[in-house]
């Protein structure tokens, strides 16, 4: 056990820090530069190969080790740098799926745009009636010559209204087991027959246009756009979900939220008495601290297993569960502390802190439900780690 | 960076688990719990021969020269097996003497503690459960080069087995006028008493000092100015007890998972039902989580001394709530059989009751963690 960085890791950290000091303007200047700043930023870090840093070098990535990725991510967060590339989904799991399961032709066609922040992939898993039991998906793709003809509907598609393509799980064979009949297609969103309809969330304007329904009416997709073998979709999806669920970055956000929460508590009262003198509240705040740190350190244990090549397919579920619990519990604690100001929406004279906590108290489902509900994570832990019978 | 155990540590764990399974299986634990002394002299001697009693002491003092992560491994295993012995207490007393004593004191006590010929314990807690050394109430009045001690220490492990007690006391009126000393059992004015416990595999009680005289060469380090050293010792105690809790909680979870896989109702194992699965998954998440805090705290002891208080507190606090919940949920998931004396799960449930106040409960440690943030 050693939490100190090796000299090589330390050298990499210095390289990142020096680069950030030389190239990242302070936040105020950044907003003045606007789009110029962000495009220039992405060009520079693309040159450093820090976009797609975890991808192999021959695929245009940086070939960074697991530890280097961790260091890069942490330094970027500490410096409040913009994200490493704009195509979050492409970088996160569409690109890796193409790298792992795709053909050379697909790698040439899709990877550069992801790295250059030119594409914007979205993810087509869920369907009406198909949520936690994802393997029962029905969106149908029928082979017709060199194309598949896709018919069906996908739902809860983040960013489909501004996306360039949808990475879609479709049923290619209804006659085999539900897991074996799924395939993965990369479908440009401008393909004729695709219709995108936004879904209104209850969280109001702040979460406007977040989710969409995507309808496929006789959409012709070249077979050349299928990633992996026909029937390999479930394997690709499982590997992508694990990537989506591992979220070291989240801890930083929780620490910031806890700092804000403590500040809020310092000016709040519970039953007329200062909130920070309330023992139950004090214990609750400290318990958040413990859970955030437990989440961070458990993440590092998972990271070590990853470095050693011993990563289990369910290791990320612990982090996801903590993230969900913290998100809901901290925003609800804030609402409690806000007291009489808590029901008011937005930035008005009735609100405290410009109504930011209310956004959290309404918006948590995006994180908590997305990528698998807490109950599904508990099933994964119970079945795959503890060895209880499968549902 | 590497947040994993070494191969040697994995081997140490395997060897410890094998030893405990062979020499102190749960039947033996139950038998020893019924005895007055509460532990086996033979197993104690075997532990000494294995090098466990002086695990973190230098070889020059008869120890094994290993580190705190290794000690955590051993304590997780003794906790897992509910092994009744003064090993944790005696190790902590030895640690206090090693870190605070001079060469003469090392020579006088450490080899005997490592060999198991003498048993040590620590007496740091007092009524009220405060962790802050500034609130120590046991008083030492100057008497020549030594002190005359008066007052009560609570939650003292193995009080009637111990030959020596590492005691914290107040030696003046200033906030930092506190000190550590070794008090010998049986000396005039020293009364150690053990009381019946929910967890019969442990021995716990009070140390009453009523005009107990100690010489200057029993004081560990300078008299006065010891608040930081006492805090460090208390952190080591909290880390040690959390390690025992980790092993025990993990075993309680395993026993309950096994039961859920065996017990059939409505035509299938009860582990099939989400009402059973989900609490088990929650236990797992909590145990893994406080283990992460525990390992970091133990690593920090030797590598990041200034971070120890924060992480020892977060670990003990999280562990306390999680272990108590694990105990209750385990019993409940066993149904009525969980209430019988015959099933082992009750022993772990009772262990969680012992662990709760040891070296500070969740409230005390959360309060300290918050205070360390300046809140």
Name the closest residue on chain A to residue B264, using Cα atoms. A389
Residues A181-212: tens digit of each pLDDT: 999 999 999 999 999 999 888 887 777 667 89
Fold classified for B121-225 = Butyryl-CoA Dehydrogenase, subunit A; domain 2 (2.40.110)
Of A342, A343, A334, A338, residue with least CA distance to A269: A338
Q: Could you tell me how many CB contacts below 8 A there are between chain A and chain B?
A: 148
Residue A304 pLDDT:
86
CB contact under 8 A, A282 and B274: no
Fold classified for A246-385 = Butyryl-CoA Dehydrogenase, subunit A; domain 3 (1.20.140)
Residues A321-352: tens digit of each pLDDT: 999 999 999 999 999 999 999 999 988 999 88
Work out the average pLDDT over A114-129: 95
Residues A281-336: tens digit of each pLDDT: 999 999 999 999 999 999 888 888 888 877 766 777 888 899 999 999 999 999 99
DSSP codes, B253-305: HHHHHHHHHH-EETTEEGGGSHHHHHHHHHHHHHHHHHHHHHHHHHHHHHH-G
CB contact under 8 A, A300 and B3: yes
Please list every residue in chain B whose beta carbon sits closer than 8 Å to the beta carbon of residue A388.
257, 260-261, 269, 271-272, 276-277, 280
Can you give the residue ranges of every domain in chain B? 7-118, 121-225, 228-372
Mean pLDDT, chain B, rounded, equals 97
From the CA of B24, how many Å to the nearest CA of chain A?
26
Residues A226-238: tens digit of each pLDDT: 999 999 999 999 8
Residue A245 pLDDT:
56
CATH architecture, domain A121-231? Beta Barrel (2.40)
- Alpha-carbon distance values, B342 to A289, B201, B336 (Å): 39, 15, 12
Residue A372 pLDDT:
79
Contacts of B106 (CB under 8 A, 6+ apart): B61, B97, B98
Of B255, B242, B258, residue with least CA distance to B322: B242
Chain A contact probe: residue of B291, B314, B322, B372 with most A CBs at under 10 A: B314
Domains A7-85 and A121-231 share a fold: no
Residue A170 pLDDT:
98
In whole angstroms, what is the distance from residue B236 CA to residue B297 CA? 9
Please list every residue in chain A whose beta carbon sits closer than 8 Å to the beta carbon of residue B292.
294, 297-298, 300-301
Domains B7-118 and B121-225 share a fold: no
CB contact under 8 A, B289 and A375: no
A283, A300, A391 ranked by CB distance to B363: nearest: A283
CB contact under 8 A, B281 and A379: yes
Give phi and psi for B155, each to the nearest 5. 50, 45
Across B110-163, the runs of DSSP E, i.e. the strands, are 120-123, 139-143, 146-157
Can you give the residue ranges of every domain in chain A? 7-85, 121-231, 246-385
Domain B228-372, CATH 1.10.3470.10 — does that match?
A: no
Residue B324 pLDDT:
98
Residue A27 pLDDT:
79
Percent of chain A at pLDDT > 90 equals: 68
- Check if B5 contacts A (Cβ < 8 Å): yes
CATH architecture, domain A7-85? Orthogonal Bundle (1.10)
294-313 of A, contacting B, C-beta below 8 A: 294-295, 297-298, 300-301, 303-305, 307-308
Q: Are strands B178-184 and B219-220 parallel, antiparallel or unpaired?
A: antiparallel
Residue A227 belongs to what H/E stretch?
Answer: strand A226-227
Q: Name residues of chain B where pLDDT drops below 50.
A: none
In whole angstroms, how large is the CA radius of gyration of chain A? 22
Chain A contact probe: residue of B1, B249, B266, B333 with most A CBs at under 10 A: B1
Tell whether the torsion through CA atoms of A11, A17, A22 and A24 is positive or negative. positive
In whole angstroms, what is the distance from residue B76 CA to residue B101 CA? 28
A5, A301, A321 ranked by CB distance to B292: nearest: A301
Residue A25 pLDDT:
86
Give ipTM to 2 decimals. 0.95
Work out the average pLDDT over A97-106: 97
Percent of chain A at pLDDT > 70 equals: 97
CB contact under 8 A, A279 and B363: yes
The number of angstroms, rounded, from the C-alpha of B282 to the middle of its chain's C-alpha atoms is 25
Residue A46 belongs to what H/E stretch?
Answer: helix A35-47
Fold classified for B7-118 = Butyryl-Coa Dehydrogenase, subunit A; domain 1 (1.10.540)
Chain B contact probe: residue of A6, A73, A265, A286 with most B CBs at under 10 A: A286
Give phi and psi for B335, each to the nearest 5. 65, -150
CB contact under 8 A, B3 and A1: yes
Residue B144 pLDDT:
95
DSSP codes, B84-121: -SSHHHHHHHHHHHHHH--HHHHHHHHHHHHHTSS-EE
């Amino acid at each position: 056990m050693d939490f100190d960085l090796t000299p090589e890791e330390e050298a990499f950290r210095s390289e990142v820090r020096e680069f950030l000091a030389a190239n990242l303007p302070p936040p105020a200047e950044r907003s003045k530069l606007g789009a110029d700043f962000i495009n220039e930023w992405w060009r520079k870090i693309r040159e450093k190969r820090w976009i797609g840093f975890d991808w192999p070098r021959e695929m245009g990535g940086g070939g960074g080790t697991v530890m280097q990725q961790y260091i890069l991510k942490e330094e970027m967060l500490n410096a409040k740098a913009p994200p490493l590339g704009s195509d979050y989904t492409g970088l996160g799991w569409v690109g890796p799926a193409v790298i792992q399961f795709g053909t050379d032709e697909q790698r040439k066609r899709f990877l550069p745009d992801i790295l250059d922040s030119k594409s914007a992939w979205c993810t087509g898993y869920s369907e009406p009636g198909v949520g936690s039991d994802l393997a029962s998906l029905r969106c149908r793709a029928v082979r017709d010559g060199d194309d598949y003809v896709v018919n069906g509907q996908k739902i809860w598609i983040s960013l489909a209204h501004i996306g360039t393509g949808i990475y879609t799980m479709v049923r290619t064979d209804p006659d085999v087991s539900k897991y074996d009949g799924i395939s993965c297609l990369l479908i440009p969103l401008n393909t004729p027959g695709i219709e995108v309809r936004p879904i209104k969330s209850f969280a109001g304007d702040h979460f406007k246009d977040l989710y969409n329904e995507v309808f496929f009416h006789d959409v012709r997709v070249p077979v050349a756009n299928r990633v992996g073998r026909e029937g390999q979709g479930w394997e690709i999806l499982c590997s992508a979900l694990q990537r989506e669920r591992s979220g070291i970055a989240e801890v930083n956000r929780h620490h910031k939220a806890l700092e804000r929460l403590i500040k809020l508590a310092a000016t709040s009262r519970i039953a007329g008495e200062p909130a920070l003198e309330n023992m139950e509240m004090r214990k609750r705040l400290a318990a958040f601290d413990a859970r955030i740190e437990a989440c961070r350190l458990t993440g590092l244990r998972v990271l070590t297993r990853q470095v050693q090549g011993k990563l289990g397919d369910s290791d990320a579920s612990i982090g996801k569960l903590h993230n969900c619990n913290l998100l809901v519990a901290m925003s609800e604690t804030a609402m409690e502390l806000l007291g009489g100001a808590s029901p008011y929406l937005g930035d008005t004279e009735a609100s405290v802190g410009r109504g930011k906590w209310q956004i959290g108290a309404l918006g948590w489902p995006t994180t908590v439900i997305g990528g698998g509900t807490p109950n599904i994570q508990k099933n994964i832990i119970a079945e795959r780690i503890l060895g209880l019978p499968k549902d | 960076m590497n947040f994993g155990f070494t191969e040697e540590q994995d081997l140490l764990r395997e060897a410890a688990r094998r030893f405990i399974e062979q020499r102190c299986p749960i039947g033996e634990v139950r038998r020893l719990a019924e005895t007055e002394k509460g532990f086996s002299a033979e197993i104690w001697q075997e532990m000494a021969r294995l090098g466990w009693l002086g695990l973190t002491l230098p070889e020059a003092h008869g120890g094994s020269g290993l580190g705190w992560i290794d000690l955590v491994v051993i304590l997780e295993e003794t906790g897992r097996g509910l092994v009744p012995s003064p090993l944790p207490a005696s190790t902590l007393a030895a640690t206090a003497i090693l870190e605070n004593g001079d060469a003469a004191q090392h020579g006088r006590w450490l080899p005997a503690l490592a060999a198991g010929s003498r048993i040590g314990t620590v007496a740091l807690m007092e009524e009220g459960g405060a962790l802050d050394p500034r609130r120590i109430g046991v008083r030492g009045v100057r008497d020549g080069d030594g002190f005359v001690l008066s007052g009560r220490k609570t939650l003292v492990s193995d009080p009637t087995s111990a030959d020596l007690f590492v005691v914290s006391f107040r030696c003046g009126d200033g906030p930092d006028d506190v000190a550590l000393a070794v008090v010998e059992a049986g000396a005039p004015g020293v009364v150690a008493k053990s009381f019946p416990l929910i967890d019969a595999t442990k021995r716990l009680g009070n140390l009453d000092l009523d005009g107990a005289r100690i010489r200057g060469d029993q004081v560990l380090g300078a008299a006065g100015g010891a608040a930081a050293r006492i805090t460090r010792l208390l952190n080591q105690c909290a880390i040690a007890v959390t390690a025992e809790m980790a092993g025990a909680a993990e075993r309680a979870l395993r026993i309950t998972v096994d039961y859920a896989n065996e017990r059939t109702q409505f035509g299938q194992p009860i582990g099939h039902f989400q009402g059973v699965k989900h609490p088990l998954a929650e236990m797992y998440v909590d145990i893994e989580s406080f283990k992460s805090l525990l390992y970091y705290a133990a690593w920090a002891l030797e590598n990041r001394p200034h971070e120890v208080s924060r992480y020892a507190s977060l670990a003990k606090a999280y562990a306390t709530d999680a272990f108590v919940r694990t105990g209750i949920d385990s019993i409940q998931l066993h149904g009525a059989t969980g209430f019988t004396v015959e099933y082992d799960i009750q022993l772990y449930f009772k262990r969680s009751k012992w662990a709760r106040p040891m070296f500070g409960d969740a409230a005390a440690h959360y309060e300290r963690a918050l205070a360390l943030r300046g809140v």
